[in-house]
Structure 1
Amino acid sequence: YSSLHHCNLHQCTLCNYTLHLFTLRHRTLYQSILVHTTAIYTNVLSATSLYITELYASLF
């Protein structure tokens, strides 16, 4: 599980960094808000699905 967490966290950080660079390149407030909101939503979604998967794994 620890390696899965590390990999997932690393991918999220890398993804956020890429989105951050994209936001800097296209410096529009609306785009910035949209990109950051999407990034947060995606991270929450992946973290939630990972949590649910581990919860089911521990139950069965």
Structure 2
Amino acid sequence: MLYANTLDFFLLRIVQLIHVAIDSAQIDIFVKMTFEIISCCHLTHWLTESCYYKMA
């Protein structure tokens, strides 16, 4: 369930990112949101790995 919600969150953020890039040429916002998505991906990956190793 958590995975599905996380995936929805990422898809939503990516759509927002594309809208920002198209609607306005504000590169700083585009970069900030890209880094936010990347860092969130790393965090999610790390949490998934930790949970997996704890269960194993």
Shift of 1:47: 1.1
RMSD: 2.2
Identity of aligned residues (%): 11
Q: Which runs of 4+ in 1 moved over 3 A?
A: 7-15
For structure 1, which runs of at least 5 residues remain unmatched after alignment?
Answer: none
Aligned to 2:21: 23
Unaligned runs of 5+ in 2: none
TM-score (norm. length: structure 1): 0.62
Residues paired across the two proteins, number: 55
What is the distance in 2 between the residues matched to 1:22 and 1:49?
Answer: 29
